[in-house]
């Protein structure tokens, strides 16, 4: 995640910070401005209110997200004009495990932390609901999340997307369980944020591709999504995770299973790329790659800069940046943090996602979005409910 600065004293702070260690002010991420801000209690203005104390804040008033007040589980604040008790990220959670059980509390908090990162990326791209910002499509504010735990004797909880609802098995928050499934399913990159980014891709396929006028172009690039989804997955798992020549055309082996999964994996990869580049830019990273034809220099590229960089400009910095990243993790005895080598066809699909996102993000702002509600979509769009965990 990118780094921030306390807007009161300028000290370095982070996305999950709740207090500036330099000036001592409380910190919160402001969902309306997408910045970290220093806040001071303002009981004279009303119970539970906080006032922005940074020089650029103008004394604006906020409330802490209810999940911060009740569980210390969120560091987002919402403007007083927003009637919702929860922040825009937390209010997207429709169902959650029983947090009276300590293990569930820890899992839920980890998932919500990853979810806030997803929210941040989508909001900066103009795709997440927030006060004063349009939703991904007229009348639709964003996906809802069911964070569920399995119970003895009950049915398995399958991670997936269906009709606007993203379901996640909270066991994915356990490192040992996630590692077991990563090995069993042949997935070199399996993380909480990766899950959420992938499943959000299915939601935004409905919003931006199917309903946004990109369907014909999608089929030319990714294939025809009307092919039998269940049969495609059965064939994918039957040949094994490393079967075929998927690397010539896809970002992952799973992307080769079906055009829907190809899109979702590519979408997730695009969000990986955007987040990595923004983080690099916040540290003003410069990379020099030595070679037999002379050293190649690359400067950080902010994907949210003005003017916005094009896809090729971002890619030129991404490649040396991932070489540095993998070298650093190997020096610490860890596996590659970026275990991908993308062929031309995979890059062309990433460029398509970039074009779709940039077009969608240019929508004008709309009035404050209402709380997210499940969408109604045709039954065939239940795209990932039988994948991954069902085949463990």
126 and 81 assigned to the same domain: no
Phi, psi (deg, nearest 5) at residue 311: -65, -40
- pTM here is 0.87
**DSSP designation for 137:** B
How many Cβ atoms are within 10 Å of 226's Cβ, its own excluded? 9
Burial 79-90 (b: 16+ CB within 10 A, else e): bbebebbbbbbb
140 and 30 assigned to the same domain: no
How far is Cα 47 from Cα 67, in angstroms, rounded to an integer?
17
202's CB contacts (< 8 A; 6+ apart) are 160, 161, 166, 260, 263, 264, 381, 383, 384
pLDDT at 325: 95
Phi, psi (deg, nearest 5) at residue 325: -60, -50
How far is Cα 98 from Cα 84, in angstroms, rounded to an integer?
22
25 and 150 assigned to the same domain: no
123 and 218 assigned to the same domain: yes
321 and 272 assigned to the same domain: yes
78 and 187 assigned to the same domain: no
pLDDT at 318: 94
Among 54, 87, 120, which residue terminates a domain?
A: 87
pLDDT at 102: 87
pLDDT at 178: 72
Per DSSP, the residues of 31-82 read TTTTEEEEEEE-GGG-TTEEEE-STTTTT-EEEE-HHHHHHS---EEEETT-
195 and 308 assigned to the same domain: yes
Closest CA to 168 of 181, 187, 153, 152: 181
8 and 143 assigned to the same domain: no
How far is Cα 17 from Cα 29, in angstroms, rounded to an integer?
9
286 and 317 assigned to the same domain: yes
In which element (H, E) is residue 331 found? helix 311-331
78 and 118 assigned to the same domain: no
- pLDDT per residue of the chain (392 residues) written in tens, 0 to 9: 899 999 899 999 999 999 999 999 999 999 889 999 999 999 999 999 999 997 777 889 999 999 999 999 999 999 998 888 999 999 999 999 888 888 899 999 999 999 999 999 999 998 976 554 555 555 556 789 999 998 888 899 988 999 889 999 998 888 777 777 666 666 666 788 999 999 999 999 999 999 999 999 999 999 999 999 999 998 888 876 555 688 899 999 899 999 999 999 999 999 999 999 999 999 999 999 887 677 889 999 999 999 999 999 999 999 999 999 999 999 999 989 998 889 999 999 999 999 999 998 764 333 333 333 322 222 222 333 334 333 33
211 and 345 assigned to the same domain: yes
Query: Can you say whether the dihedral through the CA atoms of 76, 81, 85, 86 is positive or negative?
Result: negative
How far is Cα 141 from Cα 361, in angstroms, rounded to an integer?
14
Among 44, 61, 87, which residue terminates a domain?
A: 87
Among 23, 56, 87, which residue terminates a domain?
A: 87
Q: Residue 19: which domain range?
A: 1-87
162 and 79 assigned to the same domain: no
pLDDT at 34: 92
Q: How many domains does the chain have?
A: 2
């Amino acid at each position: 995640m990118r780094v921030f600065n306390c807007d009161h004293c300028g000290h370095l702070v982070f996305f999950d910070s709740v207090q500036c260690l330099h000036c001592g002010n409380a910190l919160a991420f402001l969902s309306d401005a997408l910045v970290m801000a220093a806040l001071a209690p303002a009981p004279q203005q009303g119970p539970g209110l906080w006032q922005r104390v940074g020089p650029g804040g103008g004394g604006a008033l906020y409330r802490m997200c209810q999940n911060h007040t009740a569980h210390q589980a969120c560091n987002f604040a919402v403007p007083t004009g927003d009637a919702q008790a929860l922040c825009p990220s937390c209010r997207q959670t429709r169902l959650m495990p029983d947090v009276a059980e300590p293990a569930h509390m820890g899992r839920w908090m980890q998932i919500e932390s990853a979810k806030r990162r997803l929210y941040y990326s989508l909001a900066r791209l103009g795709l997440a609901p927030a006060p004063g910002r349009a939703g991904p499509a007229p009348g639709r504010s964003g996906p809802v999340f069911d964070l569920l735990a399995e119970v003895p004797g009950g049915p398995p909880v399958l991670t997936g997307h269906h009709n606007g609802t993203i379901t996640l098995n909270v066991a994915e928050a356990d490192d040992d369980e996630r590692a077991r499934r990563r090995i069993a399913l042949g997935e070199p990159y399996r993380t909480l944020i990766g899950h959420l980014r992938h499943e959000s891709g299915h939601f935004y396929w409905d919003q931006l591709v199917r309903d946004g006028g990109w369907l014909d172009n999608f089929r030319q690039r990714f294939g025809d999504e009307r092919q039998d989804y269940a049969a495609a997955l059965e064939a994918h798992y039957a040949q094994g995770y490393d079967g075929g020549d998927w690397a010539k055309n896809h970002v992952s082996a799973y992307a080769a299973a079906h055009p829907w999964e190809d899109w979702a994996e590519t979408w997730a990869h695009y969000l990986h790329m955007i987040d990595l580049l923004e983080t690099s830019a916040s540290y003003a990273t410069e990379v020099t790659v030595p070679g037999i034809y002379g050293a190649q220099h690359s400067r950080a590229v902010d994907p949210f800069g003005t003017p916005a960089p094009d896809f090729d400009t971002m890619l030129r910095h991404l490649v040396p940046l991932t070489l540095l990243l993998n070298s650093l993790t190997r020096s610490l005895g860890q596996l590659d943090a970026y275990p991908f080598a993308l062929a031309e066809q995979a890059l062309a699909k990433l460029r398509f996602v970039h074009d779709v996102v940039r077009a969608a993000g240019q929508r004008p702002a709309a009035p404050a979005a209402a709380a997210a509600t499940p969408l109604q979509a045709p039954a065939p769009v239940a795209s990932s409910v039988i994948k991954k965990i069902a085949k463990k």
